[in-house]
Chains A and B, each alone.
Chain A
């Protein structure tokens, strides 16, 4: 009885243990932003409001998951010499799709994010996962890895945005949640504050889990 149980888990299936690991690890122990140090640029620039962070996260999950899927499907036919170029082409195409779609269906987000949508192409998370995982794994696993890392990124982004918007503007998604007597903390509205917030997040994360501390 025990043998069949173990064998079933090893096979994986759609959402077996290995697959769930792909979705869960990037949320904490292998977080793309705080541990792998990828995707920092946009994490700092768009976290002024929760709305912008949400749209950015959804866009990134879309690009990361689909590009991982496509590259994994193509992985055996890509000539090695142009590996990076093919990856970039796929990513650039997907990001352009996102930009066109946002312009039509979420114009307000499109206006606010402007240049940063295009910059998803250079978001190290997408490229990093393609090289590190999608090139050497099966499509479904690669897709899940893309989703997982996108979620890890989104988690940090939205958390930062909640802090910055709450203390800086007193609102959440535009609705006021701080009492009228609260004096708005203007530092939180300035872009430099996201660096302080992320520094503190890293501090908290590593203090809570000492295995993540930088030993160098």
Chain B
């Protein structure tokens, strides 16, 4: 059937034209998308910091505040600090085995990728925000919600224990229930002033169901979202444990 080669040729021509158009579009617009992603991350980090002077309403101010006041570095569970230099980046990328991706810049560091490495090879981000003479430290933690992953940025005061602010996000929690950890300003505000570690240096932050018993550590949970809230408590326990060595070092310095 002479029609058959005609058909294949037609489909081939169409596919080539489309692939060409898409390639051009993708190459020109993807960098903007990457930039948007990075800006969204900066906004999330800054949103935990309780500074009324920070204007988060537009990308320009988010970028300028971040670039001027935030220094980022990475720490490992044993307290080693990796700053934003090519040598440090090389050292971190040396751990990228088992399917984990390598980073081109330190800012690309993300916990989802770190979780692919074995525990001793992981590094965790710290974002140090400077205002005048005081510092606020923002750390990143990750855990499991009801349906899928949840993660958070937690801002700590210079005592590295009192929570200054939080930002939660999730892959697919139920809207109106688990998703409230991200959407409810009220829930996030209740974390302010709570302490992460107790006097024995164990993680004591606790999202409770029936009522706050210990003002220092307990946070009231969200009605109907018990599993997600338990996930938040567990996320604090496991996530903060990776930073204890660094915190100890920083407090003594």
Contact A89 B175 (CB under 8 A): no
**Most chain-B Cβ atoms within 10 A of its Cβ — which of A81, A107, A111?**
A107
Q: How many residues of A contact B (CB 8 A)?
A: 27
Interface check B36, CB cutoff 8 A: yes
Interface check A40, CB cutoff 8 A: no
Contact B176 A93 (CB under 8 A): no
Contact B175 A86 (CB under 8 A): no
Contact B7 A79 (CB under 8 A): yes
Query: Complex: how many Å from CA A104 to CA B22?
Result: 14
Q: List which B1-16 residues lie within 8 A (CB) of chain A.
A: 3, 6-7, 10-11, 14-15
Looking across the interface, which residue of chain B has its beta carbon closest to that of A188?
Answer: B176
Q: Using an 8 Å CB-CB cutoff, how does the interface string of A60-86 with B read, 1 for contact, 0 for none?
A: 000000000000000001110110011
Contact B25 A97 (CB under 8 A): yes
Contact B22 A100 (CB under 8 A): yes
Q: Which of B7, B18, B39 contacts A93 (CB 8 A)?
A: B18
Query: Complex: how many Å from CA A90 to CA B14?
Result: 8
The verdict on A190 contacting B175 (CB below 8 Å), with A82-B10, A89-B14, A100-B22 known, is yes
Looking across the interface, which residue of chain A has its beta carbon closest to that of B36?
Answer: A107
B3: chain A residues at CB < 8 Å are 79, 81
Query: Complex: how many Å from CA A78 to CA B6?
Result: 10
In the complex, how many angstroms separate the beta carbon of A94 from the nearest chain B beta carbon? Answer: 9
B18: chain A residues at CB < 8 Å are 89-90, 93
The verdict on A48 contacting B29 (CB below 8 Å), with A86-B11, A107-B40 known, is no
Contact A100 B30 (CB under 8 A): yes
Interface check A36, CB cutoff 8 A: no
The verdict on A82 contacting B33 (CB below 8 Å), with A107-B40, A189-B175 known, is no
Q: Using an 8 Å CB-CB cutoff, how does the interface string of B21-49 with A read, 1 for contact, 0 for none?
A: 11001100110110011011000000000
The verdict on A81 contacting B7 (CB below 8 Å), with A89-B18, A168-B176 known, is yes
Query: Complex: how many Å from CA A208 to CA B131?
Result: 63
Q: Using an 8 Å CB-CB cutoff, how does the interface string of A169-193 with B read, 1 for contact, 0 for none?
A: 0000000000000000010011100
Contact B29 A107 (CB under 8 A): no
Interface check B105, CB cutoff 8 A: no
Q: List which B168-192 residues lie within 8 A (CB) of chain A.
A: 174-177
Q: List which B214-234 residues lie within 8 A (CB) of chain A.
A: 224
In the complex, how many angstroms separate the beta carbon of B173 from the nearest chain A beta carbon? Answer: 12
Contact A107 B37 (CB under 8 A): yes
Looking across the interface, which residue of chain B has its beta carbon closest to that of A191?
Answer: B175
A77: chain B residues at CB < 8 Å are 10
Interface check A96, CB cutoff 8 A: yes
Contact A100 B26 (CB under 8 A): yes
Contact A103 B175 (CB under 8 A): no
Contact A104 B40 (CB under 8 A): no
A101: chain B residues at CB < 8 Å are 25, 29
B interface residues, Cβ below 8 angstroms from A: 3, 6-7, 10-11, 14-15, 18, 21-22, 25-26, 29-30, 32-33, 36-37, 39-40, 174-177, 224
Known interface pairs A81-B3, A96-B22; 5 further A-B residue pairs with C-beta atoms within 8 A, sorted by A's residue number: A89-B14, A93-B21, A100-B22, A108-B40, A190-B174
Top 10 nearest A-B pairs (CB, nearest first) are: A189-B176, A103-B33, A107-B36, A104-B32, A104-B29, A93-B18, A79-B7, A186-B176, A189-B175, A104-B33
Listed by A's residue number, 5 A-B pairs whose Cβ atoms lie within 8 Å are A81-B3, A97-B22, A104-B32, A111-B40, A186-B176
